[in-house]
Amino acid sequence: MQMIKCCICGERIPVISGNNPYPVRRWSAWGSDKNRCCASCNSEFVIPFRIAIGSSTEEQFDQIHKLLMSYSYGELKEFKKMLITLKKSTQDLKTSTVEA
């Protein structure tokens, strides 16, 4: 079985089980041995970022894609953590405003 490295975290994965990492990395066709990501990175980064930026304009989507591509694995983890904290703070602010 041909093995490749996840293009996000570097974990070794079988080509057959790799996922398209877009928008976190460049788009990749199924079965390709280039630019594929592991299931963990797919569920931790790729799917949440696709959902988060899905309603963006094409120009905004391209800008976010370029930003995400520039981040290392560690930077992606920190960026996601920051977004979760920001979302929680926004929800807390809405809750406290409604209660006031």
Q: pLDDT tens digits, residue range 15-73?
A: 888 899 999 998 887 767 778 999 999 999 999 999 888 888 889 989 999 999 999 99
Residue of 12, 57, 2, 1 whose CA lies nearest to 38: 12
Three-point CA angle 81, 4, 19, nearest 5° = 55
Report the predicted TM-score, pTM, of the whole model to 2 decimal places: 0.79
The answer to whether the Cα torsion of 94, 98, 99, 100 is positive or negative is positive
Q: Which helix (H) or strand (E) holds 12?
A: strand 12-14
Residue of 59, 51, 72 whose CA lies nearest to 7: 72
